[in-house]
Amino acid sequence: MNLSVQVDTGDLEEKLYLLAKEARVAPGVVIKEETKGICRQIMQLTPPRNLAQGRKAVAGDLSRIVYAPRAEDVKWEPLKKALKARDVAAATALYAAKSSPRFTFTTGTAEIRGQHLRMRNPRGRVNKGVKPFLAAFSSDARQYVAQVQSRVGWAKAAFARTLIAAGGTVPAWIGRLANAAGTVIANFGENPSVQGIGFNVKIPGYQKLVDTAVRTRERITQRKIDAIVAGRAVNLGFTVIEAK
């Protein structure tokens, strides 16, 4: 699998072929099952844990980028009136005149997006404790928040198409991004092979995460081989090898 990281599966592939031999099944059957296992393992290690967590993180980050109160929550009458009327000139003048804190007023989502990109740290997050100096209409801020929240789960979705190709399933919030986030070429018949490609996966340290998942699958596969050789019962996912 290639997700802008080097995924070394050489040792794992050797073990899978050995497992297939010991279980007396076609290698493609074992590789198909293992593809599901490794994809699930990596997806479980990839944030966020769930959609709600991801959406909350986005909302929190953007609250540190732009100040966008609802008109009904504003007590300063001139500003309340300007916000209700979406009076850009008046809102701009009022924010410029306000001494503490002093905000730069913007309309639309382009400047919010630009500020977001500038303020993100290497993990794609906005550091806690940062205070916004950009102000906007609440409807514009909500629109941008919704845009970013619609991409929650992108890194997980990079593996979704590969998992689905192997017969697995993914939650709807990940599946809706699968076609855009990744692609896969898979053959589980003769001379089985799998190549998954994920687009724009930018999580720092992702190489280590993927390597950890591969090494974990190697250990699991080796335990299955050892169990079969020892005559113990083994659940291969697609079948159960009974104890001898």
Summarised one tens digit per residue, pLDDT across range 1-52 is 555 555 667 788 899 999 999 999 999 999 999 999 999 999 999 999 999 9
Same domain, 42 and 163: yes
- 3-state secondary structure at position 106: strand
Residue 10's pLDDT is 75
Q: Are residues 55 and 142 in the same domain?
A: yes
> Rounded CA gap, 244 and 230, in Å?
9
CB-CB contact of 66 with 132 (8 Å): yes
Residues 181 and 168 in one domain: yes
Please give the residue that has the higher pLDDT: either 184 or 206: 184
Angle, CA of 217, 222 and 224, to the nearest 5°: 95
Ranking 3-7, 20-24, 173-177, 234-238 by mean pLDDT, the lowest is 3-7
Statement: residue 74 has pLDDT above 80: yes
Last residue of a domain, which of 86, 119, 149?
Answer: 149
Q: Is 124 contained in some domain?
A: yes
For 114-164, the pLDDT digits (tens) are: 999 999 998 889 999 999 989 999 999 999 999 999 999 999 999 899 999
Same domain, 101 and 176: no
Share of the chain above pLDDT 90, in %: 68
Total domain count, the chain:
2
Coarse DSSP helix, strand, coil percentages of the chain, rounded to the nearest 5 percent: 55, 10, 35
Question: Would the pLDDT of 202 be above 90?
Answer: no
Same domain, 167 and 192: yes
Answer yes or no: do 42 and 159 share one domain. yes
Average pLDDT in the 186-210 region?
86
- Which of these ranges, 83-92, 189-198, 202-211, has the smallest mean pLDDT? 202-211
What is the chain's mean pLDDT, rounded?
Answer: 90
The pLDDT-based confidence of 178 (bands split at 50, 70, 90) is: very high
Is 5 inside a domain boundary? no
Q: Do residue 59 and residue 74 come from a single domain?
A: yes
Q: Which residues contact 181 (CB under 8 A, 6 or more apart)?
A: 154, 155, 157, 158, 160, 161, 198, 199, 200
Instruction: Say if 1 falls within a structural domain.
Output: no
Amino acid identity of residue 156, one-letter, is K
Sign of CA dihedral 162, 163, 165, 169: negative
Give yes or no for a cis peptide into 47 (omega within 30° of 0): no
pLDDT at 32: 93
Beta strand 134-136 with 104-106 is parallel
Q: Which of 54, 64, 112, 103 is nearest to 82 (CA)?
A: 103
CA distances from 161 to 6, 50, 125, 172 (A): 19, 18, 26, 13
pLDDT band at 219 (very low <50, low <70, confident <90, very high): very high
Q: Which domain holds residue 122?
A: 51-149
